[in-house]
Amino acid sequence: MWVLDFTPNSVTMLALVLMVGIVIDDAFVVLENIFRFVEEKGLSPIEAARQGTHEIATAVLATTLSLAVIFIPVSFMSSISGRFLFQFGITAAVAVMVSMLVSFILTPALSARLFRKEDMTSGEGPASRRGLYRLVDRSCMATLGEAETASRIDRLDRSRIANVRASLAPGFALAERTAALEAEFEAMNTPAAYTVSVRGVGRELERTRNEFILAFILSIVFMYMILASQYENLIHPVTILLALPLAVPFALLSLYLAGQQLNLYSALGILVLFGVVKKSSILQVDHMNNLRRTGMNRLDAIMQGNRDRLRPILMTTMSLVAGMLPLWVGTGPGAEERRAVAVVVIRGQTLSLLITLLVTPVAYSLLDDAIAFARRLKPAPVAPAGGVWTSASVSHDSTPD
C-alpha cells in the first residue's frame, strides 16, 4: 500500500479484512502436512518440514496463483466502481502472494523448531415490487397554433432529447427499476426513430455489470491457464474448476436466505468465493496425482488422497468462516455492504464444500476413464517393412528384399 500510495480507506481495509481468513490457509495446509509426516511417518521435525513442504508445494502454489489472478481483471475495470476496486484488487492480490512466501519460508522453519521443542518436553502432537417510475404519454401530432413550450431544447448527438428524472423509492433495487422503466418504454410502441437510454447511476450500474461479467470470464480463463501450466495437463484443471458452477447457485441461495440483493458488493463476494471454493479441489487432485505416481492404483489413491486432505480442507474452511464473521456481525457505516460480501463467502463456501468433497473424486475418476477410453480409440503406430512409421494400416510385400 505504501509503495503504490494507497491509503487505509474503506476499500483497502475491506480487502485486508477479507484476506485475513484466506492468507492463513497456505500456512494451515503446510503445517498440517508437516504434522502428518511427523505423526504418520515418524520423521524427525526437520526432515518432516522439508519433505512435507516439498510434497504440498505444488498445491499451495496453484491455489495461491489461481486466487491472486482472480483480482487482476477487477483491478482494471474502467467504470467508476472499477477505480475503487483497483485498490481492492491489488491489495488482495499482494496479500495472497505474501502469504505464500510466508508458508514456504517461515512456516516450515517454525514448525520444525516447535515440533522439536514438543518432542523434547512431552512428545505429543473452522420481489419484484413496483416503484414510482412513470412515463408521461406524449402526443406525436403537431398542429399550428399558439401553445406553451419548453423553455429550452436539449440535444444529444444532434438529436432532441427529453429527460425523465426519478429517484429510487426505499426498498427497491436500481437494476430492477431500470429494467421496469425500459419495459414500460417498449410497451408504448413508439416509432423506430425514438430510443431510450439510461444515464446517471443507472448507466454506471449497467457498465459495472458488464465489466464484472467480463472480469468473471477472464478470471476463469486465467485460472485454467495457471492450473494447466502447473499440472502440465488439460484435464485436471477441468476437474478442479467444476467447483465454480456448483458455487454460483449456493451463492445466490445465500443472498436469498439473507434477504440480500445482487449488487456490487455481493458480486465481489462471488468473485472471492470463486477463488476460495476451488482450494479443496486442488488439494484433493494434487494429492491423488502424487499417490498415483508412487504406483498406487487409482481407486486406492482416491480413497487415501481424500482421507489425507480432509483435515486441512476442514481447517481452512473453518478459518475462512472465522475470518469473515466480523464482517457479517459488524455494525456502523458501510456494514450492510460488507455483510453482503460475508454472507456470500461464508454460506457459499460452507454449502459448496459439502458437494465438492463428493463431486471432485467422482469427476476425477470419470474424466480419467474418458481419457483412457480416448487413448484406446487412437490407432497405435505401425512400422511398415520399409522402416517408416505411420499410424495407418499399410499393406506391403512380406518377401524380404
Residue-level pLDDT at 120: 67
Residue 197 and residue 203 in contact, taking contact as beta carbons nearer than 8 Å? yes
Over residues 89-146, the pLDDT tens digits come to: 888 888 888 888 888 998 899 888 888 777 666 655 544 444 434 445 444 455 666 7
CA 22 to chain centre: 13
Residue type present at position 256: Y
pTM for the complete prediction? 0.72
Q: Domains of the chain, with CATH numbers?
A: 10-120+202-369 (1.20.1640.10)
Please indicate whether residue 96 or residue 198 has the higher confidence score (pLDDT).
96
pLDDT band at 154 (very low <50, low <70, confident <90, very high): confident
Over residues 254-307, the pLDDT tens digits come to: 888 877 777 778 888 888 888 888 888 898 899 999 999 998 999 999 999 899
Read off the pLDDT of each residue in 149-170 and give the average, rounded to a whole number. Answer: 76
Residue-level pLDDT at 117: 75
In this structure, the number of other CB atoms found within 10 A of the CB of residue 133 comes to: 16
Please indicate whether residue 157 or residue 291 has the higher confidence score (pLDDT).
291
CA-closest candidate to residue 306, choices 356, 346, 348: 356
User: In angstroms, rounded to a whole number, what is the distance separating the alpha carbons of residues 37 and 45?
Assistant: 9
